[in-house]
Amino acid sequence: MASKTVALDAEAYELLRRQKKADESFSDAVKRLARPHKPLSSFAGMWRDLSRKERRDLDRVYAELHEADRRHTEEIRTKWSRK
């Protein structure tokens, strides 16, 4: 495979190194990070085929995660307010 050499200053290299996953090359990291993202609108309607039970299950899981996040945030707030 053909390759090109790219010069990065130390800051750019460090930013890229932090974003690179352990099992990927720098080339793979650049491709992953530079690839255009899908617009949010492309996900519209993707759950329309779910059954009512599946939607209820998703709603329940979302509510549980939301509550866990709220409790965790409150714990952090309480911990920091004591300092």
Average pLDDT over the chain, rounded to an integer: 93
Q: Specify the number of domains making up the chain.
A: 1
Q: Whats the size of the chain, residue-wise?
A: 83
- The token pair at 19 is 């974003």
What whole-number percentage of the chain has pLDDT above 90?
77
For residue 71, what are the domain limits? 10-35+50-81
Q: What is the pLDDT of residue 47?
A: 84
CB 30 within 8 A of CB 22: no
Q: What is the pLDDT of residue 81?
A: 86
How many Cα atoms sit within 13 Å of 49 on the Cβ side? 1
Exposure class string for 24-58: b at 16+ Cβ within 10 A, else e: eeeeebeeeeeeeeeeeeeeeeeeeeeeeeeeeee
With a cut of 80, say whether residue 83 has pLDDT above it.
no
Q: What is the pLDDT of residue 1?
A: 79
Q: Evaluate whether residue 2 is within a structural domain.
A: no
Structure confidence by residue, pLDDT tens digits, 23-49: 999 999 999 999 998 888 988 888 889
Q: Evaluate whether residue 4 is within a structural domain.
A: no
